[in-house]
Amino acid sequence: MKISIYGDSFVTSGIFKSALINQVGNDHNFKLKDVNWPDTPFHNDYGEGNFSKIKEYLGNEEDVINFIEDSDILVTDLAPVSESILDNVKNLKYIGVSRGGPVNIDIDACQKKSIIVANAPGRNASAVAEFTVAKILAQTRLITLGHTTLMQGEWRGDLYRLDKTGRELSELTIGLIGYSHIGKLVKNLLVPFGCKIVFSDPYVELNNEDIADGIKKVSLENLLDMSDVVSIHARVTKETVNLIGKKEISLMKKDSYLINTARGPLLDYKALHDALSNGKLKGAALDTFYEEPLPENHIFKNLNNVTITPHIAGASVKTAYYAAEVIAKDVRNYIDGKKLVNRIC
């Protein structure tokens, strides 16, 4: 087999190749390439022209076509794969994309051309779940505020005052919007803290473990009304764009917190900024934004009650190696003519 490996500086072509050799041996023709992401931002939104159906990619049409050439298999993290690219790589029969949501691949075009696509669902679920809990603690226990003010030369001893200090998670109700891979892992990490946990997800029901842990399923409106911390873990669909806007934020408790480690389009950031500025919400912790990278004059940079990070919740060493391993196992299944574990089309 001729296998093109289009890596980057996170899931490198070398990591992919090592995982593939462990699964399928070294008797294949491997071709390697790494693009300069994340140092160079990927194309965050849908592209134009031939790339209008894909997003979160890095690379141009000509370079991708020339790299794939006559390969049978493409293994990638961020390569743009459009219908026009597929028209020019006639031998390609299989794509392994190490993403939970392979939005850089035109799945409809792959189906039309009978090209198999397999992905790595939940590849960074544990990383994002850990990061979410860290975000919650950074806000509720004043870690971010204490750090930033101390770095600016101000000793905030007043943060020990009863009227200013934070609350322990055991006192709080945590509301999880979305209860799939990541939402459930966040729940697992939070249970030992002793907090009350509720979730809202129209596609998930309580299971026996949830019942044993005291988890409750509620409507979105009830979740917003009763939660001290609201954490978003939904996927972006037509129905979930601006899932949390001005109306939803108005339903939240005064002095509650909003956490978003999912995707920017789920949240109305102007409405959130207003709520943080006027004292409706006590704080927020954000890892993703509608516009990435953030512009220098972004409105959140002037607030002292937010923890913001540059879309790194899913970044961990384990994630990179695990994603490559998942992809390599299904490449082996494909070559051996066996059923794929994570086939999309």
Mean pLDDT score of the chain: 97
Query: Considering 130, 292, 298, 332, which one is annotated as catalytic?
Result: 292
Peptide linkage before 293 cis (omega within 30 of 0): yes
Sign of the four-CA dihedral 8, 30, 105, 97: negative
Indicate if 48 belongs to the active site.
no
Percent of the chain exceeding pLDDT 70 equals 100
Q: Are 206 and 233 in contact (CB under 8 A)?
A: no
Indicate if 205 belongs to the active site.
no
Residue 174 in this model has a pLDDT that exceeds 90: yes
Provide the CATH number for the domain formed by 2-123+316-335 in this structure.
3.40.50.720
Annotation: CATH topology of 125-308: Rossmann fold (3.40.50)
Question: What would the mean pLDDT of 132-146 be, rounded to a whole number?
Answer: 98
Contacts of 163 (CB under 8 A, 6+ apart): none
pTM score of the predicted model: 0.93
Query: Considering 99, 181, 233, 263, which one is annotated as catalytic?
Result: 263
Distance of alpha carbon 315 from its chain centroid, rounded? Answer: 9
Q: What is the pLDDT of residue 44?
A: 87
**Three-state secondary structure along 264-305?**
HHHECHHHHHHHHHCCCEEEEEECCCCCCCCCCCCHHHHCCC
H helices present in 26-97, as ranges: 61-68, 83-86
The one-letter code for the residue type at 236 is V
Mind listing the pLDDT tens digit for each residue in 212-234? 999 999 999 999 999 999 999 99
Query: Considering 99, 181, 273, 311, which one is annotated as catalytic?
Result: 311
Burial class of 266 by CB neighbour count within 10 A (0 to 12, 13 to 18, 19+):
buried
Residue 125 in this model has a pLDDT that exceeds 90: yes
In angstroms, the CA 184 to CA 91 distance is 40
- Residue 290: pLDDT band (50, 70, 90) is confident
Specify the length of the chain in residues. 345
Q: What is the pLDDT of residue 13?
A: 98
Domain locations along the chain: 2-123+316-335, 125-308
Q: What is the pLDDT of residue 328?
A: 98
Indicate if 263 belongs to the active site.
yes
Mind listing the pLDDT tens digit for each residue in 232-241? 999 998 899 9
Shortest CA distance to 78 belongs to which of 2, 16, 21?
16
Question: What would the mean pLDDT of 41-45 be, rounded to a whole number?
Answer: 91
2-123+316-335 and 125-308: same fold? yes
